[in-house]
Amino acid sequence: MSVLALLLAGPLQSWGSAARFARRTTENAPTKSGVIGLLAAAQGRDRADDLSDLAALRFGVRVDQRGTRLRDYQTAHHQVTEVSMPVSERFYLADAVFVAAVAGDDPLIGELHRAVRKPVYLPYLGRRSCPPARPVDLGEYGESDLEEVLERVPWQAAGWHQRRRRQEPVVTLETFVDATSGDTSPDSLRDAPLSFDPLHRRYALRGVRTGRVQVNNPMARQLPDHDPISPLGGD
Amino acid sequence: MYLTRFRLNTARSGTRKLLSSPQAMHAAVLAGFPDLLPSDSDAPRVLWRVDRVSAAEVFLYVVSSGRPDYTHLVEQAGWPAAGTGWQTGEYAPFLEKLAAGDVWRFRLTANPVHSVRTKDGQETKVTAHVTWRHQADWLLQRQEAAGFRVARKPDGEEAPEGQETPDRYAQYELMVHDQRRLEFSKGKRNGSGKATRVRVNTATFDGRLEVTDPEALRRTLTAGLGRAKAYGCGLMTLAPVE
């Protein structure tokens, strides 16, 4: 089993799972369908191609920098008839950073790693208008499991964010990992991709287990001890 | 001389009032000296400093010629029922023992400023140093007259790869942190005039020093370094090197 880690950081990201019609919401963390779609696109698969091998990968994300929610109000007109389309609300996460990881058999992970480094279709963060701001590839971890990798990858938050939390030498980050059969009452999200066929997109329910990991803060302020009273012998 | 440490109870509103206003803190610090009359202008200066180690560990240090009574501070901003008040130590014997060549850790909160002229013919104006490099320079320029030398790192830093000269600040055991910009009103508002706005930029220096001139260092430790001494700046303390 090996694991491929991805860095999802950008000025805007948008990860919809239950969005319908004119209100296009985003989840707080990348969806499995969004990340699997990114990998399939990197490999150059067509929308209608089979993706059961990718959907079978174990998936997890870590929230390195939560970001803020942004609402966009959008109007559009039909390209040909110029009829106005329904006004839509689109939600984004601004300034967020995530680490996503997929775990699977070594050959497939190796293939995906090569694809991410040399993608056929460029990666985007949930919606095509959201390009990544930093390289997506965080490397391949052989002989590891998903949870371990989400703990081991160093904190990817922006420098200003790390400095803002400099009082915390160790920070706690939330994780969302595919539930296993042993999990009792996991949350569920309809984002396990069955088909990206534009004529009939299909998603299955996926169990999600919420967890926490602790990582070091490289910007933590370590104040030296300073006790000027003890050398005086006080009273 | 006496050195006093007072731990502030940050859960109390009285403490928050003191921490948010250097003027209120100064008044509270001076109120601890019953012998110090307001008319007594020749009295040696009382120096104080607030060390914010963490959110719940905030210490007030005071250096004074008299022994303070901080009962009122305990009532306002301490733990009156716990019976733990403040600690005061005799400073003079410690100061007497300082000798050239001694190595100590130091901490200093100061108001690093310089005078600049923005236009020809204009008078110079006191302006704060705002970057940590300028603030470090400010201290390094004053170290000789103040009786100490900031220690160098033991293994002389080599220039990092691809860089011609080594970062000269990297050679010193010196850390500049906790830069703050204090802004508050001074004086009472009366019918006509507005209260003066006071702006003070402070920085805290932590590091290691070697004593070069014990007499000058004693003066630095008891009379302070730099400006804005009424607002918690200028007090340097020494602690043993671990």
> Could you say which of A221, A226, A235 has the minimum Cβ distance to residue B105?
A226
- The 10 Å Cβ neighbour count of residue A170 is 10
Distance of alpha carbon B43 from alpha carbon B123, whole angstroms: 32
pLDDT digits (tens, 9 = 90+) for A172-225: 999 999 998 888 888 999 999 999 998 899 999 999 999 999 999 888 777 778
Pick the CATH number of B99-239 from 3.30.70.141, 3.40.50.10490, 3.30.70.1210, 3.40.50.2030: 3.30.70.1210
ipTM of the complex model: 0.77
Q: Do A225 and B239 touch (CB under 8 A)?
A: yes
Options 3.30.565.10, 2.40.160.20, 3.30.70.2660, 3.40.109.10; CATH for A2-153 is 3.30.70.2660
Query: What torsion do the CA atoms of B159, B160, B162, B166 make, to the nearest 10 degrees?
Result: -40
Same fold, B2-94 and B99-239: yes
The residues in B 51-80 lying below 8 A from A, measured between CB atoms, are 51, 53-55, 61
Fold of B2-94: Alpha-Beta Plaits (3.30.70)
Looking only at the bridges linking them, the beta strands covering A88-104 and A23-24 are parallel
Bridge-partner residues for A173, per DSSP? A213
Q: Check CB contact under 8 Å for B90 and A225.
A: no
Q: Give pLDDT tens digits for B166-215.
A: 567 778 888 888 888 988 877 766 666 677 888 899 999 999 999 999 99
| pLDDT value for A235 | 47
Query: B64 pLDDT exceeds 50?
Result: yes
Cα B7 from Cα B53, distance rounded (Å)? 11
d(CA A119, CA A139): 15
Candidate ranges A209-223, B131-145, B149-163; pick with highest mean pLDDT: B131-145
**pTM for the full predicted model:** 0.63
Which chain B residues are within 8 Å of A233, Cβ to Cβ? 89-90
Q: Is B143 helix (H, G, I), strand (E, B) or coil?
A: helix
Selected for mutation to probe chain B from A165, A170, A219, A226 (highest B CB count within 10 Å) is: A226
* More reliable by pLDDT, A98 or B190: A98
- Tell me which chain A residue has its CA closest to the CA of residue B176: A223
Distance between B99 CA and the closest CA of chain A, angstroms: 15
Query: What is the residue whose two structure tokens read 């790390």?
Result: A162
pLDDT digits (tens, 9 = 90+) for A39-59: 999 999 999 999 999 999 999
The domain segmentation of chain B, as residue ranges, is: 2-94, 99-239
The ranges assigned to domains in chain A are: 2-153
Residue in chain A lying closest to B235 (CA): A228
- Residues of chain B with C-beta less than 8 angstroms from the C-beta of A229: 3, 5, 87, 89
Please state, in angstroms and rounded to a whole number, the distance separating the CA atoms of residues B195 and B20: 17
